[in-house]
Amino acid sequence: MAAVSAIETQRTVEAVWRIESARLVAGLARMTHDIDAAEELAQEALVAALQQWPQSGVPDNPGAWLMSVAKRRAIDEFRRQQRFERKVAELGRDLEHDAWQQPEPDLDRIDGGIEDDLLRLVFTACHPVLPTEARVALTLRLLGGLSTGEIARAFLAPEPTVAQRIVRAKKTLAKKQIPFEVPRGEELAPRLASVLEVIYLIFNEGYSATAGDDWMRPELCAEALRLARVLAGLANAEPEVHGLVALLEIQASRSRARVGADGEPVLLLDQNRARWDQLLIRRGLAALDRAESLTDEPGPYQLQAAIAACHARARRPEDTDWHRIAALYEELAVVNPSPVVELNRAVAVSMADGPAAGLQLVDELRDEPALRNYHLLPSVRGDLLAKLGRHGEARAEFDHAAALTGNERERALLLDRARQARGS
């Protein structure tokens, strides 16, 4: 019976950690001005919980308990560093004398502005001074509460590689003396764009895995969506934040329909739309409405969400407003010029005006350096050629696309399309 209780307690601790770790690290980072030290203190509090909660039981306010323990450890560390008198005022003198058996302090009283602390942590972890891969890893570690091993498995990367990314990221932030603060004025827009990019990249890697045996990695989609929702609560007046939430909610609504019984990919027009999650769609459309109410100049995430909404509103594939989607891609190409956007616009044009019109646009992209190793260029071209009855050319394009993709499920799909073209 005791073993069962210990296992249950460990599960509770893990669940609490996933919920509270970001707030804990954020609050400690504000006090210590050192993300690495803040994470170490948070981890020490976690160890204390694992040791004490099986005997004492889970406290009524586990987040406050963890914060209280971490702050006491911080006080001990500051004392050892001969800086106790200066730092204790920031941590709260009363905590030094609290007995362990006393009720846990009120977290809101100790940490006024905890939401501001979280926002500071988001912007710090996603600072543009860090390489993109480091930003992603550090965000999942500090804000997602994921272990290094979990991050490594999610991105099919060696655990030592991910660990080094996180260590180097922390060292870079310290060396560059990046302030633990929310950017203001002219700094806000580019810094916010960096945060949104990280969340978007995490979601996309889960939604269409770039490598490995699985078409999707749902745990990454779920984590990105959670982070986006948290950010929307912290930065409620930013339209692009709501645009990103809308995009991710609507995309995530199709997750169950995107994978077949054997794990094979199911493309958009072949999906059983009855399997789309209507709750997520409603949440996405509500977030899109919120974004649209905040600005008359939609940004790239809001425009992509509007495109996703066109699909979500179509009960059947033939009900899709492809002319509207093509127009939205045209707007997106102005706001965020990209050959990938142009390729997606070509697909929409092909659906609206026929495969010949789409192929003409695709062929204009064949010499684009950024698309040289992008498997979706020959994949789209193969699809349009097949629709035009040019099956030999289509087969070659599907074979080329299969050779370029790093995802085994997608490769199998493309090779199957090549076989179908051979039989036509």
Task: Give the end of a domain, one of 25, 46, 81.
Answer: 81
Residue 240 lies in a domain: yes
Which pLDDT score is estimated for 94? 52
Q: Is residue 120 situated within a structural domain?
A: no
Q: CA 104 to CA 113: how far, in whole Å?
A: 19
Q: Which of 81, 104, 126 is the last residue of a domain?
A: 81
Contact present, 130 and 138 (Cβ < 8 Å): yes
- CA 53, 47, 142: angle at the middle one, nearest 5? 120
Work out the end-to-end distance of the chain between its first and last CA atoms, rounded to an integer number of angstroms. Answer: 65
Q: 21 Cβ partners below 8 Å, 6+ apart?
A: 42, 46, 142, 145
Q: Please report the pLDDT score of residue 98 as a whole number.
A: 47
Question: 211 has which bridge partners?
Answer: 406
The tally of CA atoms less than 13 A away on the side-chain side of residue 203 is 24
State the residue range of the domain holding 231.
Answer: 190-291
- Number of domains making up the chain: 2
Report which DSSP code applies to 187. G
Would you say how long the chain is, in residues? 424
Of the residues 291, 306, 325, the one at which a domain ends: 291
Contact 347, 376 (CB under 8 A): no
Is residue 303 in a domain?
A: no
Residue pointed to by tokens 């199998």: 412
Please tell me the predicted confidence (pLDDT) of residue 286: 98
Q: Are 42 and 70 in contact (CB under 8 A)?
A: yes
Task: Provide φ and ψ at 402, rounded to 5°.
Answer: -65, -35
Residue 212 lies in a domain: yes
Examine residue 99 and state whether it is found in any structural domain, yes or no.
Answer: no
pLDDT of residue 306: 98
**Domain assignment of residue 268, yes or no:** yes
CA distance 370 to 343: 12
Strand pairing class (406-407; 211-212): parallel
Q: What is the pTM assigned to this prediction?
A: 0.79
- One digit per residue, the tens of pLDDT, for the chain of length 424 reads 334 466 787 888 888 887 888 889 998 998 888 888 899 999 999 899 888 988 888 888 988 999 999 998 888 877 777 555 555 556 665 555 443 333 333 333 333 445 688 889 999 999 999 999 999 999 988 988 888 988 888 787 899 999 999 999 999 999 999 988 888 888 888 899 999 999 998 998 888 877 777 778 888 899 899 999 999 998 899 999 999 999 999 999 999 999 998 889 999 999 999 999 999 999 999 999 999 999 999 999 999 999 999 999 999 999 999 999 999 999 999 999 999 999 999 999 999 999 999 999 999 999 999 999 999 999 999 999 999 999 999 999 999 999 999 889 999 999 999 999 887 6
Answer yes or no: is 48 within a domain: yes
At 360, which amino acid appears? Q
**Residue 358 β-bridge partners:** none
298 within a domain of the structure (yes/no): no
The DSSP symbol for 106 reads: P
